[in-house]
Amino acid sequence: MKAVELIGTIDEKGQLFLDQPIENLAPEKVLVIILFSEGSNRRN
């Protein structure tokens, strides 16, 4: 596996939107790991 670091936003519906498009990668299913600050508004 390879890793790419990107910045994005999760909206009120739980959808992830990246700030920039991912270039030079073929379309495929990916594993997403989300890092967030401890003080963020989590819903669990």
pTM for this model (two decimals): 0.69
pLDDT tens profile 25-38: 899 999 999 998 88
Give the CA distances from residue 8 to residues 23, 25, in Å, rounded to whole numbers and listed in that order: 15, 18
What is the sign of the dihedral through the CA atoms of 27, 30, 33 and 36?
Answer: positive
At residue 37, the pLDDT reads 87
pLDDT surpassing 60 at residue 44: no
What is the per-residue pLDDT across 2-28, written as a single tens digit (0 to 9) for each? Answer: 999 999 999 999 999 999 999 998 999
Dihedral angle at the C-alpha atoms of 11, 15, 28, 7, nearest 10 degrees?
20
Q: Is the Cβ–Cβ distance between 34 and 42 less than 8 Å?
A: no
Cβ contact 40:26 at 8 Å: no
Quick one: pLDDT at residue 39?
A: 78
pLDDT number for residue 38: 84
